Amino acid sequence: MTEKIAFLDLKRQYDEIREDVAAALLDVCSKTAFSGGPFVENFERMFALYSGCRHAIGVNSGTSALHLAMLAIGAGPGDEVIVPADTFIATAWGPSYAGATPVFVDCTPDTWNIDPAKVEAAITARTKAIIGVHLYGQPFDIDAVSGIARKHGLFLVEDAAQAHGARYKGTVVGSFGALAAFSCYPGKNLGGYGEGGIVTTNDDGYAAHVKSLRNHGSTERYRHDEIGFNMRMDGFQGAVLAVKLPRLDRWNARRKEIAAMYHRGIKNPAVTMQGQPEWADSIYHLFVITATDRQALMKHLEARDIFPGLHYPVPCHLQKAYANLGYKAGDCPNAEYLAAHCLSLPMYAELTDGEVARVIDAINDWR
């Protein structure tokens, strides 16, 4: 019997930082700073510095971050927001929660990121914004998409949920759009010990609005300027994320080493990997491949105690939740191909070289 290799094992990282985490959590308890407060504010300052943005605003999930970003730009009923078909569904929830309509466009066949040509073709008189997703941790073609946004007077919002520390042409993502949304869900590269998210922006007005919206539409206690939400980050998340952020670059560097091993080692012609343009410095939140016969490859790997993930088996435009929008199979062929053939290899900083070699050998053995 060989040791199991899971797609993700959070316990190994916890073992490395458990003493610092325990001390940070006790500190929150002793100061009873459970909702918002100094631990969140400290993390916000750290993340703003890290991402090169004037503002980082802690919220209770990446989904909320997208929702608030949409409200900040004024997206609402009657507006269309262009989003990639190949992403986690929460990218589309942002516009939907704001009352706008997501318009799904295809990815490119090689980078699997949003296709700028498809974005331009989807623009109508109602288009308000484009959400680009740094999918699997790899930046999308920001210059191309922001050029289109500028040309048509649209907002660009980054969905950086999977991309803490990824770089586009040398600059960390999060400051390219009007706003950006990060997720701190536990499995993310910068994950909390519960739900969490961050909005970043360089605009003081957006920052003030997002801070108010996350706190019941209030800047002064018991005075409410508009209908707001309870979307504050909790103190435990602020404290844990502040413990983890100084280690993020080291963990991301190890993910890059593992990705390089996969890239060098996987030779099976029945498998393809995400195309990497020279301007995209991915932090490999996920290492997704496609296989000509996914089911067969999964069975083959599982028989060798290797357990891959699936991101994502149904593209957004074909989800039942959006059946009313009238999309059909064939509308986004590249995203549909990916959904039908994708498989996520084990990827986390604590994987050993031996484990990575086992995954590579198993894939190369597959016929």
Do the Cβ atoms of 113 and 166 come closer than 8 Å?
A: no
Which string of x and - marks every residue 164-203 that binds ligand PLP (by CB under 6 A)?
-------------------x-x-----------x------
Give dist(CA 88, CA 133) in Å, integer. 9
When asked if residue 133 is in the footprint of ligand PLP (CB under 6 A), the reply is yes
When asked if residue 241 is in the footprint of ligand PLP (CB under 6 A), the reply is no
Q: Is the CB of 128 or the CB of 164 nearer to ligand PLP?
A: 164
- Residue 246: what are its φ and ψ, rounded to 5°? -65, -15
Q: Is the CB of 57 or the CB of 360 nearer to ligand PLP?
A: 57
Identify the sign of the CA torsion 314, 115, 181, 242. positive
Q: Which of 206, 31, 25, 24 is nearest to 214 (CA)?
A: 206
Strands (E), 4-68: 5-6, 55-59
Q: How far is the CB of 316 from ligand PLP (least distance, A)?
A: 10
Q: Is the CB of 133 or the CB of 332 nearer to ligand PLP?
A: 133
Site for ligand PLP in 4-43 (CB under 6 A): none
When asked if residue 88 is in the footprint of ligand PLP (CB under 6 A), the reply is yes
Which string of x and - marks every residue 50-79 that binds ligand PLP (by CB under 6 A)?
-----------xxx----------------
203's enclosing H/E stretch is none
Give dist(CA 132, CA 135) in Å, integer. 9
Structure token pair of residue 173: 């993502």
- Cβ-closest position to ligand PLP: 62
Which string of x and - marks every residue 142-161 that binds ligand PLP (by CB under 6 A)?
-----------------x-x
Give dist(CA 129, CA 78) in Å, integer. 12
Q: Is the CB of 6 or the CB of 161 nearer to ligand PLP?
A: 161
How does DSSP classify residue 299? Answer: H
C-alpha distances out from residue 49 to 69, 166, 175, Å? 20, 15, 11
Residues forming contacts to ligand PLP in the complex (CB under 6 A) are: 61-63, 87-88, 90-91, 133, 159, 161-162, 183, 185, 197
